[in-house]
Amino acid sequence: MGLALLDVADVIRPYPELIAYLQGVKNDNFLDELVKFEGGQEAQDAITAYLNKYGMRCVGEIDMTKTRWSEKPITLISMILSNIKNFEPNASKRKFEQGRQEALKKEQELLDQLKQLPDGEQKATETKRMIDLIRNFIGYREYPKYGMISRYFVYKQALLKEAEQLVQADIIHEKEDIYYLTFEELHEVVRTNKLDYQIINKRKDDYKLYEKLTPPRVITSDGEIITGKYKRENLPDEAKVGLPVSSGVIEERARVILNMEEADLEEGDILVTAFTDPSWTPLFVSIKGLVTEVGGLMTHGAVIAREYGLPAVVGVENATKQIKDGQRILVNGTEGYIKIL
């Protein structure tokens, strides 16, 4: 979906007036307004087509109550504008082809090395078969999550339809109030048209309180909280330690981004954030490195960084507070540390 957003940028790029309008939009009715500008109909069609395919995604998408891109399309604007600024036309095809060529080159290097070993031809043949299997089928691992999130959006729309009827019947104040009920409780409210509002008010207050809490890094299944430090030696002075999850070393500008709507990236920037999930994937086409506060070898950011060949260090405590936006930093994804330059 990152490459598809580059294609959306290509549609808008030739129209300066349209770009200027998008730079100033503040609310979600901008899609209807696009047709007033030259190229607006094409832009509207391109964004709508993107939302039809990926609009059910959002940050924290496994939580059904989170606002989807289709519900708040303005979330995508900063990424589209960054793509227009940072890339030439047809960048998605070039990036895809570049990745393909790099993969084929690496494949050939591996096979050539294997052929030098005893029984090398057999090892190379077997390895080539496995590489082909992975290259053909690895994409399918995205389908279960895509299907699940697509269904979640359908469920959400159905539940909000019920909630609208409850609002009209003056049983709840606003449809989002149902987010504070369990499914069984909502079922009962719909059945009886009765609700004790104290339940919702108390849960709203609790939610505000919980949002201010910082969860511990590690908590055992017995509820024990374990604290500790990374045990690493031979690291440079003033290095901030994390977990090495994608090898390589990069020195570039850090962009500290906590909210995807504010993602004003330039090609080559290093993304510094609390964590990433699939909704952040479109940003990975622009960045050259990744630093997150939480995560491990198999969390989203680590996996995507390896797929894109980006140096990445995760589990860097308070990275978004220790690193200031715009600072030049070094990310060593091989040794697992970062350094502010």
**Active site positions, annotated:** 300
The values of phi and psi at residue 318, to 5°, are: 55, 35
Residue with tokens 């993304």: 271
What distance in Å separates the CA atoms of residue 120 and residue 114, rounded to the nearest whole number?
Answer: 5
Q: Are 195 and 172 in contact (CB under 8 A)?
A: yes
Residues whose CB falls within 8 Å of the CB of residue 41, separated by 6 or more in sequence, listed in order: 34, 35
Half-sphere exposure of 240 (CA within 13 A, CB side): 21
What distance in Å separates the CA atoms of residue 106 and residue 112, rounded to the nearest whole number?
Answer: 10
Token representation of residue 38 = 């030259």
Q: Are 267 and 86 in contact (CB under 8 A)?
A: yes
